[in-house]
Structure 1
Amino acid sequence: MLNALEVFTTVLVGVMVGVEFSVAFVINPILNALPEDSGQLGRAHGGQLLGAVMPVWYITSLVLVAVWAIAGWHRPGSGLVVTAGVLLIVSVVMSILLLVPINNRSKTWTPENRPEDWKEQSNRWDRFHYVRVAVIIAAFALLAAALT
């Protein structure tokens, strides 16, 4: 049963990393290259969609890693799992303090109501997101290493 939990948790975190990586390095660059207001509207829609899904995904991943760490405390690699859990906590705290406030504003923007500094706010979100992606990639790598 523990093996199934380990594999399921690693896959869940890995897919989350893939989504967040694609947002940073595929989706947002595509949206930024669109003409006129299309990119900003796409980012607002993405903020609504992912803003609803990702909190559940992050918290579920963190809970599963915590269960893995507790259930597998006696097994080799438990320190890697605990460290991955700490990194996921960092990513959640970063999200709540840095990314969610910007996302909550930007997901309501339209070309008619967006603030003058909307591009700067979007760029700030992107920079914070790059750091968060690095943190969750590290957490995923530690979980993958703990499996071996």
Structure 2
Amino acid sequence: MLNALEVFTTVVVGLMVGVEFSVAFVMNPILSALPEDSSQAAHAHGGRMLGAVMPFWYIGSLVLSAVWAIAGWHHEGTGLVVTAAGLLIVSVVMSLLLLVPINNRNKTWTPENRPADWKEQLNRWERFHYVRVAVIIAAFTLLVTALV
């Protein structure tokens, strides 16, 4: 049973990393290359879409990692899992304090009501997102290491 939990947790976190990596290094550059109104509308739509799913994914990944750490407390690699869970906590806190407030504003913007500094706000979100991606990649790496 513990083996199934370990594999499932690693897959869930790995998929989350893949999505967030893709947002940072594939989707955002594509959306930013669109004409201004289309770019802003696409970012807002992406914010609504992913903003509805990602909280469950982040919290679910954290819970799965915590359950793995508790269930495998006396097994090898538990320190790595605990550290990974700690990094996932950092990613959730970062999200709540830094990224979600910007995303909540962004997802309501239209070309008619967006603020003058909308590009600067999106750039700030992207910088925070790069850091968050690095944090979750580190967590994923630790989980994979603990798994093997």
Please give the range of the TM-score, normalised by the shorter of the 2 chains. over 0.9
1:111 positional shift: 0.4
Matched ranges for 1:1-148 at <5 A = 1-148=1-148
Distance 1:130 1:115 in 2: 23
- Offset from partner CA, 1:8-58 (integer Å, 9 cap, x none): 000000000000000000000000001231111000000000000000000
Distance 2:141 2:37 in 1: 38
| Ranges in structure 1 where 5+ consecutive residues have no aligned partner | none
Distance 2:67 2:147 in 1: 15
Distance 1:77 1:64 in 2: 15
Distance 2:35 2:63 in 1: 41
- Offset from partner CA, 1:91-125 (integer Å, 9 cap, x none): 00000000000000000000000000000000000
Counterpart of 1:64, as a letter, is: L
Give the TM-score normalised by structure 2: 0.99
Counterpart of 1:72, as a letter, is: G
- Offset from partner CA, 1:74-103 (integer Å, 9 cap, x none): 000000000000000000000000000000
Give the TM-score normalised by structure 1: 0.99
Distance 1:106 1:117 in 2: 11
Moved >3 Å (runs of 4+): none
Where 2:35 maps in the other structure, the secondary structure is coil
Distance 1:136 1:40 in 2: 26
Question: How many pairs align?
Answer: 148
